[in-house]
Every structure is written in structure tokens, then in C-alpha cells.
Amino acid sequence: MKSLFVSAFLLLGTVCASQAQVGTTKPLSNTDNPGPDFSATSAGKVTLPDSPAAADSFAEPRANSSFSAPRLGTALLAEPAPATPAAPSPNPRFVYGGRDDFRWQLSVAFAWFRFRSSLFNSSEFGVKTTLTYFLNEWLGVEGSFTGAFGGDVAGVNGPRIAVYGGGPKVAWRQKRWEPWLHAIFGGAREGPQVVSGSRNSLAMQFGGGADYRWNPHVSFRAEGDYVHTGFFAQTQSNFQLAGGVVIHF
């Protein structure tokens, strides 16, 4: 009976000690609140960037970084101002020796006219003027007028002659030099009146010359022509030389 009592007492002590150890063990988890176990997971060991560090992530990368991020400009691009319209070029535009050269030429020259006939011969001096319009870079249409006066010849007081007409002109329009040829068809008038024949006649001029371009608007000209006339019921072979200035426009 005594041994039974001792055995029951030892068994009761063993059970009490076991319950005491179970009561002190920490519960595995709390299903209602997962917060207490968050520190035990791997997420709790991750270091989150603070606000200054996050803001600094957009700053310029350090010099020793392995990757260089593109630098972003903070200023917005302004809308470009409208382009200033270009000034209109003159029409036509001047180009030495090209088809865009000026089309009009006006010349004024000092002329020497040698008149040769069966009644009298004379050297007369005057002015020659021409106006030319170029249809393209080499072909033009020219109008011409020459008026010359001379002294007393064989008792004739003050011989004079006027030659006028128009025709084609062919020119080689180079950078500085412009050689050319022309053919002028028209008429002539001489004075003073003589007994035989009329004071008027048909006339033809064949010749050429060369212009030296001084600047885009001005050239200097030298030319020579053969002039055929038909005064006094005869034919005359005359010559004229001229030199002057050409205006391009």
C-alpha cells in the first residue's frame, strides 16, 4: 500500500513537470496576426531605401559606376522661332557667263564713220547707240543708230550721215570677255542734198566686237563694222569704228 502511494506521487510529479515545460514553450504562430513572425522571415532582413536615398537615385551617376545613365535635361525645349524669309533675288540673277545674265544691254559709244562715194569722201565723227535684248544665253535682237558729222569736203558744207536698223546678234558671254557678231538691216540718210540721187538709202551693217565686263552692270566695248549704202544711184562700201560703255540691266 505504501509503495502504491509512492508510485502515484512520482507519477503526479512527472505530469506536473511536463505541463510546466509545455506552458513555457513559445507558440509557433498566431494565425490572426502575421506581424510578429515577419521579423523571422527573410523579408525582415531586407534594408529598404530611405527617402533621401530614393530621391538621390535620379541624380547624376558617380564617376566609378559601371553604367552611365543618360543625362536628362531639366529644361523644356523652346519652340523654334519662325525662320526669316529670304530676300528675293533679282530677276534675272547675275552670273558671269551664264544664261542668268541680264537680258538687256544699252551701249553708248564714240564713233568714227568713213564715208566713200563717187562725189566725195569724208571722215565723220559722232555717236553710236544700241539696245539689245537677249532671247537666251547667246542670241539677241539688236537695234542700232549712228549719227556722224564731218567738215567741209570738196565744197560741200558739213556732210553728215545717219545709219539705223535692227537685226540679230550672237554673243559668247564669258566671265569677263564677251565677243560678239551682229548683222543690222535698215536705212541711211545723208546730207547735204546733192543734185543726183536721193538723200535716203537702204543700208546694211556687218561686223562685230568685244565687251570687257568691268562689273555686273558695266562693260567697255570696242567694235568695227562694214556699212553698205546706195546713195547717188550707186553703191558705197563704208566703214565705222566705235568704242564706249555698255550698261547691263
Give the pLDDT mean for 172-180.
Answer: 91
- What percentage of the chain has pLDDT greater than the value 90? 39
For the chain, what is the mean pLDDT?
A: 75
b (16+ CB within 10 A) / e for 76-100: eeeeeeeeeeeeeeeeeeeeeeeee
Higher pLDDT, 1 or 233: 233
- What's the grid cell of residue 60? 547624376
Res 208 pLDDT > 80: yes
- Look up residue 133 and give its three cell numbers: 535684248
State the Cα–Cα distance between residues 178 and 98, nearest whole angstrom.
11
- Residue 233 has a pLDDT of 80
**Given this model, what pLDDT does residue 140 score?**
96
Of residues 55 and 202, the one with the higher pLDDT is 202
pLDDT, position 71: 58
Cα 181-184-187 angle, rounded to 5 deg? 160
pLDDT at 147 over 90: yes
Q: What is the pLDDT of residue 117?
A: 78
pLDDT the model gives residue 222: 98
Enumerate domains of the chain plus CATH numbers. 104-248 (2.40.160.20)
- What are the tens digits of pLDDT across the range 211-245? 999 998 999 999 999 999 988 888 889 999 999 99
Q: Find out whether 137 and 106 touch, Cβ atoms under 8 Å.
A: no
Compute the 3-state secondary structure of the chain and give helix, strand, coil in percent, each to the nearest 5. Answer: 15, 45, 40
Q: What is the pTM of this model?
A: 0.59
**Cα–Cα distance measured from residue 191 to residue 153, given in angstroms and rounded to the nearest whole number:** 12
pLDDT of the residue at 175: 84
Mind listing the pLDDT tens digit for each residue in 25-42?
Answer: 444 444 444 444 444 444
Q: Which of 63-67, 118-122, 204-208 ranks highest by mean pLDDT?
A: 204-208
Collect all residues with Cβ–Cβ distance below 8 Å to 102 and sequence separation of at least 6. Answer: 92, 94, 216, 217, 248, 249
At residue 141, the pLDDT reads 97
Q: Quick count: other Cβ atoms within 10 Å of Cβ 39?
A: 9
> What would the pLDDT profile of 76-122 be if each residue is shown by its tens digit?
555 666 666 666 555 555 565 555 789 999 999 999 999 887 777 78
- Locate cell 561686223: which residue? 207
